[in-house]
Amino acid sequence: MIEIIAWVGVSQALFASFLIFTKKENSQSDKVLSLWLALLALDFLSCALDYLIFSKPLLSSSFLLFNPALFLYICSLTDRKFRLRPVYLLHLVPYLLFKLIAYWVQEAFAMNTFFDRDSFFLYRIAFGTATVISSIVYNFLSLRLVHRHRVSLQAERSNIDQNESIGWVLFVSVSYTVYCIIAVVVAMVSYFTKSYPLSPHIYNYAVLLGLIYILSFYGLYQLRLSLFSEDIEEERIPYQKSLLTTEAKGQIQEKIEEYVVGQKAYLDPNLSMEVISKKLKVPKYQLTEVLNTVIGKNFFQYVNHFRVEEVKKMLSDKDNTYSIEAIGFDCGFASKSSFYTLFKNATGMTPTAYRDSLA
């Protein structure tokens, strides 16, 4: 069974790597993902060769490859200045080191003898420690990067599409973290009970194959992100060290409200912090500070509050003959899904239910 999984993994990873590398608009993140999939193909190949040559799995870990690769891929997606550099290969040193040692000593991956005090005991302990540390550190860093990106989006955009939110990357990151935890549990249960209903090695590569399919599918459709302006570089001053006086904050608040509410700028689906910054001639970090510390909402929450209120007014107008979806788009929402989600979060009802409640 493991041999089949391994050879399928080799073919799928190589095929996906080629497709992503040859995408029409090949970005830095595409190159990282393409290289990552190629390395995963080699890892699956080494797994197949272990059984073909040694008739057993050798003591090496795909975790030491997947952990840093996922982190670097998220870096390439969320940092527009990211460029592939040779120094990043240092992240692969633990994986390559243990892989080479595995072929040198030919120590088998077997949980029932993992803690036996033989000549390879220290090697197995070092291997296990490195794997656990790698999983904890890189998973934490990956989840933190995705979280920061999504928070930054809400500070910059009034409408966030699925591509920008990288929700699928968050799903992969969370799923992979859960997978790592389960893998440890499966391995420990196997060791203490001396029973192997599912080999940790088979479990590892079966799940890894599933992750390859997810990375292949979504990676092909992932577009290059452009969260921040290429032309404007601003110093971000922590709120605790803000140079804005109370009076200055009040003036900026008035400017924001006059433009966003008074001129109904919230009806523009392309409204962003950059647009407002240029219009009001106020740095984005100052706008963000006033929104968060004075108004009490981030940019996304602030703008969409008025959009929801506008929708409620239009739904309350009995002479309005527009469809609910048309009303949502007319009020500044860029997609039906975000419109329905935000409206329900704000009112506790769908737009349809809200309109029916007024009848």
Q: Which residues 6+ apart lie within 8 Å of 121 measured at CB?
A: 115
- Of the chain, the percentage scoring pLDDT greater than 70 comes to 91
DSSP assignments along 164-201, one per residue:
HHTHHHHHHHHHHHHHHHHHHHHHHHHHHH---SS-HH
pLDDT of residue 59: 82
Question: What is the 3 state secondary structure string of 228-289?
Answer: CCCCCCCCCCCHHHCCCCHHHHHHHHHHHHHHHHHCCHHHCCCCEHHHHHHHHCCCHHHHHH
Amino acid, single-letter form, for residue 47: C
Q: Contact 284/232 with Cβ under 8 angstroms? A: yes
Average pLDDT, integer, range 267-275 = 92
CA–CA distance, 152 with 108 (Å, rounded to integer): 46
Give the number of other Cβ atoms within 10 Å of residue 103's Cβ: 15
Encode pLDDT of 169-198 as tens digits: 888 888 888 888 887 887 777 777 766 555
Q: Contact 281/324 with Cβ under 8 angstroms? A: no
Give the count of alpha carbons within 13 A of 323, CB side only: 4
Q: Contact 1/201 with Cβ under 8 angstroms? A: no
Q: Contact 224/79 with Cβ under 8 angstroms? A: no
Give the number of other Cβ atoms within 10 Å of residue 221's Cβ: 10
* C-alpha distances out from residue 8 to 149, 168, 212, Å: 34, 23, 11
What six digits make up the tokens of 107?
């120590």
Encode pLDDT of 297-324 as tens digits: 999 999 999 999 999 999 998 888 889 9
CA–CA distance, 280 with 32 (Å, rounded to integer): 39
CA–CA distance, 235 with 284 (Å, rounded to integer): 10
Give the number of other Cβ atoms within 10 Å of residue 127's Cβ: 23
Encode pLDDT of 83-133 as tens digits: 888 899 999 999 999 999 888 988 887 777 778 888 888 888 999 899 999
pLDDT of residue 186: 74
- Per-residue pLDDT band at 238 (split at 50, 70, 90): low
Give the count of alpha carbons within 13 A of 284, CB side only: 19
What six digits make up the tokens of 22?
């040859």
Q: Contact 173/146 with Cβ under 8 angstroms? A: yes
| 48-62, 162-176, 216-230, 290-304, range with the lowest pLDDT | 216-230
Burial code of 296-329, b = ≥16 C-beta within 10 A, e = fewer?
Answer: eebbbbbbbbbbbebbbebbeeeeeeeebeebbe
Backbone angles phi, psi at 108, to 5 degrees: -80, 150
Give the residue carrying structure tokens 């699925």. Answer: 162
